[in-house]
Amino acid sequence: MSTISYKDAGVDIDAGNSFVENIKPYVKSTMIPGVLGGIGSFAGAFELPTGYKEPVILAGTDGVGTKLKLAIDSQKFDTVGIDLVAMCSNDLICNFGEPLFFLDYYATAKLEVEEASAVVKGIAEGCIRSECALIGGETAEMPGMYKDGDFDLAGFCVGIAEKSEMDRVSQVQAGDTLIALPSSGVHSNGFSLVRKLLLDKLGMKFEDDFNGRTLIDTLLEPTRIYVKEFKANKDNINALAHITGGGIVENLPRVLPDNLRAIVKRDQVQVLPIFELMGQHVEESEMFRAFNMGVGMIFVVNPANVDAVLANTDGYVIGHIEAGEKGCDIV
């Protein structure tokens, strides 16, 4: 009787071992004080930092969405890992948490060692930019669950905050100023619409020139990580909002009390060229709900602290907070 192996079923244990060896230097590059042990253990370990009166552990998880499809179709795998970390760490800081460590989940039909290694290299770079450690992850080879060539990513970030600093909504007041921090591009939301419009409807190609870069490089520009800006300006920020799916109009109200409304000046928003292109074919209201429009993070700042924040970031004023029903107007 003939025999069958795990490899015959589509799972290559040797490839998995080779992958682990490949990523060890990337993981090591993210090590910060607090990491206990190294890659290869059954669980990652991190010693809680001292100096907190009432430390609270925060956790966030996210993916990269259909931006992955562009990475797969273009065979460019070096940036989506940065996106993965960014989507999690940028959320943590909105609760005044500082990222401590990160874990990833990589699932695929067949493990391609070089591709997966490039993805994890990007994850490590995202951790470095977020000033946190990559302390573990899982790689799942699942033939039959995914089509050949496909993979999916999920990320998990854990951080720490002082309990007394977490409630940012109560800090927001009428008269506060809204400071926009520019995005690096489309970031990691709205790519189903991006692909439908640019590739399907307009027939654009990855190699097409767009403002001196290829279209694919423009679209795969990794999500900007705002951890360093948050840490440098923490004492001058009342609240902050990560502008992801839903855009400014849906994410900014998440940091407002019921009796305050955000007023964003449309002509103050520095819209990126890629959004200007898409805006020729999509209603403006839809654009502002689907995309960040060039604003990746918004700081809500007391007027007395505006100059300090502007001097310490590349941010610019886009509006203010006033009395009214909770919500956001683009005027």
* Three-state secondary structure readout of 135-184: EEEEEEECECCECCCCEEEEEEEEEEEEHHHCCCHHHCCCCCEEEEEECC
**Which residues of the chain does CATH 3.90.650.10 include?**
169-330
Please determine, looking at this structure, whether the domain spanning 13-165 carries the CATH number 3.30.1330.10.
yes
Predicted structure pTM score: 0.96
Q: What is the pLDDT of residue 6?
A: 80
Kindly indicate the confidence band of residue 14, based on its pLDDT and cuts at 50, 70 and 90. confident
Closest to 128 (Cα-Cα) out of 138, 117, 120: 120
pLDDT value at residue 11: 80
DSSP 197: I
State the number of CA atoms in the 13 A half-sphere of 84 facing the CB: 29
pLDDT tens, residue by residue, 204-235: 999 999 999 999 999 999 999 999 999 999 99
Residues paired with 323 in a beta bridge: 260
Query: Binning pLDDT at 50, 70 and 90, where does residue 142 land?
Result: very high
Whole-number pLDDT of residue 204: 98
Statement: residue 144 has pLDDT above 80 = yes
Binned at pLDDT 50, 70 and 90, residue 41 comes out as: confident
pLDDT at 17: 87
Task: Tell the CATH superfamily of the 169-330 domain.
Answer: PurM-like C-terminal domain (3.90.650.10)
Write out the two tokens for 30: 């993210």
Distance CA 141, CA 119 (A): 15
Range with the poorest average pLDDT among 28-42, 112-126, 129-143, 302-316: 28-42
* Cβ neighbours for 202, distance < 8 A, ≥ 6 positions apart: 281
Contact 44, 103 (CB under 8 A): yes
pLDDT tens column, 163-208: 999 999 999 999 999 999 999 999 999 999 999 999 999 999 999 9
Backbone angles phi, psi at 9, to 5 degrees: -80, -5
Phi, psi at residue 35, to the nearest 5°?
-70, 130
In the chain, which segments carry CATH 3.30.1330.10? 13-165
Ramachandran sector of residue 190 (left: φ over 0; alpha: ψ -120 to 50; beta: rest): left
State pLDDT tens for residues 232-276: 999 999 999 999 999 999 999 999 999 999 999 999 999 999 999
Query: Which residue type occupies 297?
Result: M
pLDDT in tens, 278-301: 999 999 999 999 999 999 999 999
**In this model, does residue 39 exceed pLDDT 90?**
no
Cβ burial of 283 (10 Å; 0-12, 13-18, 19+) is exposed
Name the band, by pLDDT with cuts 50, 70 and 90, for residue 9.
Answer: confident
CA torsion through residues 208, 210, 212, 217, sign? negative
**Pair 312, 232: CB distance under 8 Å:** yes
- Separation of alpha carbons 86 and 81, rounded Å: 9
Could you report the per-residue pLDDT of 81-114, keeping only the tens digit for each? 999 999 999 999 999 999 999 999 999 999 999 9
Over residues 62-82, the pLDDT tens digits come to 999 999 999 999 999 999 999
Q: What is the pLDDT of residue 56?
A: 98
